[in-house]
Amino acid sequence: MWFLLFTVLFAPILVLFYIEVKNYSKVRQLNKLPGPPALPIIGNAHQMGKTPSALLSQLFKWWVDAGYQNYRVHVGPYRNIIVTDAKDLEYILTSKTMIDKSDVYDMLHPWLGTGLLTSTGRKWYTHRKIITPSFHFKILQNFHEVMNKNSSKFIEILRRVSEKDTIFDFQDMTHYLTMDVICDTAMGVHINAMDNHDNIVVQAFKDMCYNINMRAFHPLKHPESFARFHKSGHKKRIETRKLEAHYTNETPADEFSSKKLAFLDTLLSSTIDGRRLTQEEIYEEVSTFMFEGHDTTTSGVAFTIYLLATHPEIQQKVYAEQEQLLGDNLKGEATFQQIADMQYLDMVIKESLRLYPSVPFVARQTDKDYDISMWSS
Ligand SMILES: *[C@@H]1O[C@H](CO)[C@@H](O)[C@H](O)[C@H]1NC(C)=O
């Protein structure tokens, strides 16, 4: 009994201590970097925000307010360097060897398996080669109608809400639009999220995004084995299974062969070393693209609208371009060509993405030593 208690209480501390000693020289090197004061063992875990937005603003606060450049943050045994210098970022992002994704991405494995976002090495390379053609500009044309129809509906909903003179969450509303579009275009499934916010797929995606953000900087929720026992981990797994059930039961097989489904078609007809992709591989890539395809567009749309709202003079210019291109059909649907001609809008969207990237951080992990500028000053 005492032995058991001792093990339960002290084993984790011993393990942490062991990791600490094993990595002593590297940790010492890391500690030369600036960063918020850290406590023994838990590091900065206690200072991490408790919600995704609090978390992000804490990381920004250290960078912008406290002025730490390329700073270190320890969350329990997880040692992170938040790289803020553009030159160092370029070094890392163009490196041919520093390509292993951080174990932050492991949290996505139960759901996304190892799709493009989470895979590395040869699997990433071969899958990337298969998938790239389905992002050819021309393929977008096939989805023009879906995007147009669903967006018209979205605008109608916005109009109704704005007449009510109540405050609403624009980004949240945008989620439902992008979910509808991605399910329709990548999977050929109509989930009609805009009319059905409680849809099981919609809820699963939302929970997933929230849980990953929070686990990334929470030492107890971080490791997969801990998360399994933790409530949010548990919930996520159930939702994942429901999502899986949705894929397998509710999607009629013949929809897969419809010519509009470029993405799924590509996956189904591709071969790697002479064999077709397994069902699991297809599942991984589809989940990945449903996740990436709607989450990034949601924040892109929401931030662009936010910037237009706070810059009325720019908004006026966007409007003038629409007037000029669409003429009498200002409230109707734009053709594919007309959208391609919206050059000013294109610039506005790109500038918004520059100011507010859709993905707040990317993470890499390495065991190798690198000699880059942050160490030399
Ligand atoms: C989205 O567009 C497609 C194609 O026009 C349509 O079948 C679907 O019902 C639309 N979904 C919503 C929620 O309007």
Residue whose pair of structure tokens reads 């590509």 in the numeric block: 266
- For residue 195, the ligand 1 atom closest to its alpha carbon is 13
What dihedral angle (degrees, nearest 10) is formed by the CA atoms of 225, 231, 233, 237?
120
- For residue 192, the ligand 1 atom closest to its alpha carbon is 13
Spacing, Cα 267 to ligand 1 middle (Å): 23
Residue to mutate, 152, 182, 190, 255, ligand 1, most ligand atoms under 8 Å from C-beta: 190
Spacing, Cα 235 to ligand 1 middle (Å): 30
Q: 208, 111 in Cβ contact below 8 A?
A: yes
Spacing, Cα 127 to ligand 1 middle (Å): 30
Q: Report the distance separating Cα 56 and Cα 217, nearest Å.
A: 10
Phi, psi values for residue 56, rounded to 5°: -65, -40
The DSSP symbol for 69 reads S
Both structure tokens of 193: 């999220």
Q: Report the distance separating Cα 233 and Cα 184, nearest Å.
A: 28
pLDDT tens digit at each of 377 positions of the chain: 666 666 666 666 666 666 667 677 777 888 888 999 988 888 888 888 777 778 788 888 999 999 998 899 888 878 888 898 888 888 888 888 887 777 666 655 555 666 676 677 777 777 777 777 766 667 778 889 999 999 999 999 999 998 988 888 999 899 899 989 988 887 777 788 899 888 777 777 766 655 555 444 454 444 444 444 344 443 444 344 444 444 444 444 444 334 455 677 777 777 888 888 777 777 777 777 777 778 889 999 999 999 999 999 999 999 999 999 999 888 888 999 999 999 999 999 999 999 988 877 778 888 788 877 655 54
Q: 179, 294 in Cβ contact below 8 A?
A: yes
- For residue 181, the ligand 1 atom closest to its alpha carbon is 1
Q: 373, 90 in Cβ contact below 8 A?
A: no
Spacing, Cα 180 to ligand 1 middle (Å): 7
Rounded (5°) CA angle 269-274-279 = 50
Residue to mutate, 144, 180, 191, 197, ligand 1, most ligand atoms under 8 Å from C-beta: 180
Closest to 194 (Cα-Cα) out of 146, 242, 249, 144: 146
- For residue 145, the ligand 1 atom closest to its alpha carbon is 5
Q: What is the pTM of this model?
A: 0.68
Residue to mutate, 147, 149, 155, ligand 1, most ligand atoms under 8 Å from C-beta: 149
Both structure tokens of 43: 């590091």
DSSP for 252-317, please give it: -GGGGG-TT-HHHHHHHH-EETTEEPPHHHHHHHHHHHHHHHHHHHHHHHHHHHHHHHH-HHHHHH
Both structure tokens of 159: 């109009």
Give, in order, the Cα–Cα distances in Å from 13 to each of 17, 99, 189. Answer: 6, 31, 49
Q: Spell out the long-range contacts of 240-248 with Cβ–Cβ below 8 A and sequence spacing 24 or more.
A: 240/110, 240/111, 240/204, 240/208, 242/200, 242/204, 243/111, 243/200, 243/201, 243/204, 243/287, 244/283, 246/200, 246/201, 247/187, 247/283, 247/286
CATH superfamily of 127-355: Cytochrome P450 (1.10.630.10)
Both structure tokens of 281: 């591989």
- Please state the domain extents for the chain: 1-84, 127-355
Q: What is the Cα gyration radius of the chain?
A: 23
Question: What is the identity of the amino acid at 71?
Answer: Y
Give the sign of the dihedral formed by CA 74, CA 80, CA 83, CA 88: positive
Whole-number pLDDT of residue 246: 45
Q: 182, 293 in Cβ contact below 8 A?
A: yes
Provide the β-strand partners of residue 79.
74
Containing H/E element for 79? Answer: strand 78-82
Question: What is the identity of the amino acid at 186?
Answer: A
Spacing, Cα 250 to ligand 1 middle (Å): 17
From atom 13 of ligand 1, which residue's Cα is the shortest distance away?
192
Closest to 23 (Cα-Cα) out of 77, 71, 98, 99: 77
From atom 3 of ligand 1, which residue's Cα is the shortest distance away?
146
Query: Residues lining ligand 1, CB < 6 A?
Result: 145-146, 149-150, 153, 180, 184, 190, 192, 194
